[in-house]
């Protein structure tokens, strides 16, 4: 029982850190050289991305694949190159974080 309690505490600590961790991950994975949370750089701002796909239940999967493979046409002619430095799990974590921004 005591163990379980400890586990719960540890997990809730991890979850409260999740947003912060994703921001750090985006920096570490070079996403922030083309993106910012609140304004457009080379790529769209992450808040604009979140607004565009709000309520779109398929967005998480599509955007995860797009982060991995790159692509263009959703925001303009400038393509996002494939991001081979992220795993599929990391891409999903990043996309979830982006879509959670308001």
Tell me which residues touch ligand HEC (CB under 6 A): 26, 29-31, 33-35, 42-44, 49, 63, 66-67, 71-76, 78, 80-81, 83, 86, 94-95, 98
Q: How far is the CB of 7 from ligand HEC (least distance, A)?
A: 30
- CB-nearer residue toward ligand HEC: 21 or 74: 74
Handedness of CA 48, 50, 55, 59 (dihedral sign): positive
What is the smallest separation between the CB atom of 17 and ligand HEC, expressed in angstroms? 19
Residue 80 φ/ψ, nearest 5 degrees: -90, 125
Nearest to 34 by CA among 73, 1, 83: 83
Distance between CA atoms of 76 and 78, rounded to whole angstroms?
6
Least separation in angstroms between residue 40's CB and ligand HEC is 10
């Amino acid at each position: 029982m005591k163990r379980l309690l400890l586990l719960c505490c540890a997990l809730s600590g991890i979850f409260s850190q999740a947003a912060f961790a994703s921001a750090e991950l985006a920096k570490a994975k070079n996403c922030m050289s083309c993106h910012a949370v609140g304004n457009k750089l080379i790529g769209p701002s992450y808040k604009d991305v979140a607004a565009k796909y709000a309520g779109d239940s398929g967005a998480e999967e599509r955007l995860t694949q797009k982060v991995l493979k790159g692509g263009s046409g959703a925001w303009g002619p400038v393509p996002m190159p494939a991001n081979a430095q992220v795993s599929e799990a990391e891409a999903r974590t990043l996309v979830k974080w982006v879509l959670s921004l308001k």
